[in-house]
């Protein structure tokens, strides 16, 4: 079978659509409906993100002895691979949280394209905590393999938290980007497939890296999604793309802090 024919297979074509939609990796395919239908594959997107970013950090570590500089460049690598979509959602939803508004009063704040004080502070803290956590990892871990696996686990957990938040949250009442993702994620077969992929990916990492920390990473997206979806359901009444971005970034930063604490 030729490569062109292989890439046109439904599963691989859908995976390419997910990669194109959720990252900045140029794979040349983007079908939102198809990506939503196969949203249960999102742990594999986290795996791709983690591998790409960890490779960049390992190379930076080899050529840059200053861990603070290398950790600052981690943010560049993160934005280059993932883009700013999740960060934008994180900032938007944090504006709503900071405003303490609920229901109909919160929606205009969520949709306001201007940045408020709370969102700016949230992004600054996000960057600072991320950079410091990666700096600690660079200083604490001598093995580049351990460093890479910590980062891979962080992105794996972040991507999984989006699916679980979508599954647990109420569907948005308008035709936003997340509506199709929410509809497909709530199907029982999608949940089973997603959890199986996430568990098998963690199991494969456990085989490569015998560490108790993987059990904590396995639970992190569950905790993040439970808290985020419940807050969104009560605060704005539904889960949309901004909430998913908030869940992703919260899980990613939490995973990096956790890794820094146990490294």
Structure tokens at 130: 């991320």
- 185: closest CA among 42, 48, 59, 74? 42
- The domain limits of the chain are 41-262
Q: What's the pLDDT score for residue 64?
A: 80
pLDDT in tens, 42-96: 999 999 999 999 999 999 888 887 888 888 899 999 999 999 889 999 998 988 8
> Which residue in the block uniquely carries the two structure tokens 């201007």?
114
Q: What's the pLDDT score for residue 212?
A: 67
pLDDT in tens, 133-159: 999 999 998 888 888 989 999 999 999
Indicate if the pLDDT at residue 15 is higher than 80. Answer: yes
Cα 34 to the center of its chain, rounded Å: 19
Cα separation, 189 vs 169, in Å, equals: 17
The three-point CA angle 16-21-23 to 5° equals: 90
The SS3 assignment for 26 reads coil
What count of other Cβ atoms lies within 10 Å of the Cβ of residue 61? 18
Mean pLDDT of 95-123: 81
pLDDT band at 5 (very low <50, low <70, confident <90, very high): very low
Mean pLDDT of 16-34: 84
The SS3 assignment for 239 reads strand
Indicate the pTM of the whole model.
0.92
Q: What's the pLDDT score for residue 144?
A: 87
From 55-64, 182-191, 206-215, the region with the lowest mean pLDDT:
206-215
Cα separation, 38 vs 193, in Å, equals: 10
Q: What's the pLDDT score for residue 2?
A: 47
């Amino acid at each position: 079978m030729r490569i062109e024919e292989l890439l046109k297979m439904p599963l691989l074509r859908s995976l390419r659509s997910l990669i194109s939609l959720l990252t900045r990796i140029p794979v040349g395919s983007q079908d939102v409906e198809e990506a939503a239908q196969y949203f249960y594959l999102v742990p594999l997107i986290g795996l791709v993100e983690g591998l790409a970013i960890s490779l960049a950090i390992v190379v930076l570590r080899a050529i840059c002895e200053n861990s603070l500089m290398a950790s600052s460049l981690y943010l560049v690598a993160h934005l280059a691979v993932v883009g700013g979509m999740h960060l934008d959602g994180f900032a938007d939803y944090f504006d709503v949280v900071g405003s303490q508004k609920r229901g109909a009063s919160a929606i205009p704040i969520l949709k306001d394209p201007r940045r408020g004080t709370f969102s700016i502070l949230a992004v600054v803290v996000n960057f600072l905590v991320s950079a410091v956590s990666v700096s600690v990892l660079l200083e604490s871990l001598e093995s580049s393999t351990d460093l890479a696996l910590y980062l891979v686990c962080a992105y794996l957990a972040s991507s999984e938290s989006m699916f679980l938040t979508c599954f647990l949250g109420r569907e948005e009442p308008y035709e936003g980007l997340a509506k199709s993702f929410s509809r497909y994620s709530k199907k029982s077969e999608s949940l089973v497939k997603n959890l199986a992929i996430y568990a098998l990916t963690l199991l494969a990492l456990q085989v490569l890296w015998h560490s108790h920390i993987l059990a904590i990473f396995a639970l992190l997206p569950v905790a993040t999604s439970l808290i985020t979806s419940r807050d969104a359901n009560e605060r704005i009444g539904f889960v949309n793309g901004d909430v998913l971005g908030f869940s992703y970034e919260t899980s990613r930063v939490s995973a990096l802090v956790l890794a820094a604490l146990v490294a």
